[in-house]
Chain A
Amino acid sequence: MTARLVMDPNPSVMHAGETVGKAVKIIMEHRYRNLPVVDENGHYLGVFGINTLLRLVLPPAVVVEKGLTTAPFVTDTLADLRHRLASVEEVSILDFINDDATVVYPDTPLVETLLVLYRTRTSVPVVEGEARRLVGMISYWDVGAHILEQEV
């Protein structure tokens, strides 16, 4: 029993060079938590997720490392947030991907895979080989569906 069993082998992916605007559209349409980003050879580069979107609409001072831990005095409106997002819509997603996200491998044991899912609280990319070719994604829903099918 390994990660291969519960992964979606045909996930939606973004390609290097595509824009933030396109990623936003896909994430909002499909309610994705994390979109894997790959290069032209299908090698995994990182993830662009809903958390990245939140980072892009918040003031940089509160999301940057060692920035403000709280900002109750800031009175930004929805228009301010929209303005921030609009300013990066045409920028490549590569500027904002998280290339440090935890990944699992097709032969990662099932419990270890679920532990990663539990700890990261988001969809997890599955990569193989030293070149880290993306072979799938694992979401809560993929795992849930598999467990329920087995139960049934």
Chain B
Amino acid sequence: MHGQGEAHAAQVIFGWDPLWFAGILFVITYALIMSEKINRAIVATSAAAIMVLAGVITEQKAVHGVDFNTIGLLTGMMIIVAITRRSGVFQYLAVWAAKKVDARPWGILVMLVVVTALLSALLDNVTTVLLIAPVTLLITEALGVKAYPYLFAEILASNIGGSATLIGDPPNIMIGSAVGLSFNDFIVHLAPAAVIVMLATMVPIYLIWGRHLKASDESRQRVMNYKERDAISDPVLLVKSLSVLALVILGFALAHFIGKQPSTIALSGAALLLLLDNLGRKSSKQTEQVHATFCEVEWVTIFFFIGLFVVVHGLESTGLLTMLAEEILNLTGGDMSVTAMAILWGSAIASAVVDNIPFVATTIPLIKSMAPTFGGAEALMPLWWSLALGACLGGNGSLVGASANLIVAGFAERARQPIGFMAFTLAAFPLMLFSILISSVYIYLRYL
């Protein structure tokens, strides 16, 4: 996000007060996104168009409000994953992990959780669960056990793993980009918390489901018979895509030293992989292949972000968010500990019930405007980590808390193993609160 909450003399149509106009438009936008009656990309881009057409912000400011670092990073990683997945490496990884524990049901659950958490830390959560859920269904069917505990644990693992890195979850990408935090900053500050939360979460999962998971020797043998090497459908592509992925991760780690933004690294990696994937093909085939790859990019998400950035920037330019920040500081008494806990718990609860992307997009400028109270931008770090943990882990609170949750639920329903909204919430919400309790202790001991 760019710019601070400087109010400017906007000329809004019919002479309406820009602050009220933007505020009401924002509330309507939020309500429509929550209602899911209209596609969220349509809502966000329409609201952005109204912001500009009504005169709340100029076209130049609207473009300035779009965080192209976030957009580039998301798009670049989506392209890299779209190409890499064709190699079959993710199925290989899941089957390999299942066989490593001799196809024991609880062992497989743990391994799939580890794979999901690790992949979610390096790729986006939705992609990760789209890759892991089908293999999970295959393995659990072969074992003769219900897929539910596995899918449930994977949902939690995807959100917890995603909280560990800059690129793991959209809220982190947005926070990292807005504040200028590096890949390494997230690893150093959030990965330890994610590991602790993941380990702690496995205990209740074991007590509720894990200890009851049983499979016959015959069923386990069916899984052991899987030939994971055969999952690699294109060994050459595997080498190319894993090499590029490794270079991109290395680039993220060194981004601070080489002075490049994560989006530059992700898009450079995507361009390189597109080149390697198409070298030697006829030009007509290249067009077909590149088109197929670009179709894999989640353009709904990308345009949702673009629209949202404009809407939030419009709101920010009216000074409304600065006023809201002042109100929050009045409530917390300007105390860093109280403010950090309020942001952590508030963002967790909010993210459990509403989309965390618009929530984080709005909260970022709000936190930025607290800098003078706490003695500058550097002093705000505990608040950024609180927001990241709250927004990412809060997604575990209900099925609608994160896109990955809904993807798994939809998949489970189609596979005739439905994950009920209430059943999920009853188990997941307390576990989410448990994870936020752990995060509170972590934030308090480390930063406050």
Contacts and interface: CB of A to CB of B under 8 A. Distances in A.
A60 B137 contact: yes
A41 to B, nearest CB: 29
Interface in A53-79: 59-62, 64-68, 70-76
B406 to A, nearest CB: 12
Contacts, number: 59
A81 to B, nearest CB: 12
A65 B138 CA distance: 14
A34 B414 CA distance: 22
A80 interface: yes
Contacts of A67: 134, 137, 411, 415
Contacts of A66: 130, 134, 411, 414
Q: Most chain-A CB neighbours within 10 Å: which of B138, B142, B227?
A: B138
Given A64-B414, A65-B414, A68-B135, A73 B130 contact: no
17 contacts: A59-B142, A61-B134, A61-B415, A64-B137, A64-B411, A64-B414, A65-B414, A66-B411, A70-B88, A71-B91, A72-B230, A72-B231, A73-B91, A73-B227, A73-B228, A73-B230, A73-B231
B141 A60 contact: yes
Nearest to A76: B222
A62 B138 contact: yes
Contacts of A71: 91, 138
B141 A73 contact: no
B229 A73 contact: yes
A22 B288 CA distance: 45
Chain B at the A interface: mostly helix, strand, loop or mixed? helix
B443 interface: no
Interface residues of A, number: 17
Given A60-B416, A61-B141, A73 B95 contact: yes
Q: Most chain-A CB neighbours within 10 Å: which of B134, B414, B415?
A: B134
B130 A68 contact: no
A59 B230 contact: no
B226 interface: yes
A60 B88 contact: no
B330 interface: no
Contacts of B283: none
* 8 closest Cβ pairs, A-B complex: A61-B138, A61-B137, A73-B230, A72-B230, A73-B231, A67-B134, A75-B225, A68-B134
Given A64-B137, A64-B411, 7 more contacts: A64-B134, A66-B414, A68-B91, A68-B134, A73-B228, A76-B222, A80-B222
B233 interface: yes
Contacts of A80: 222
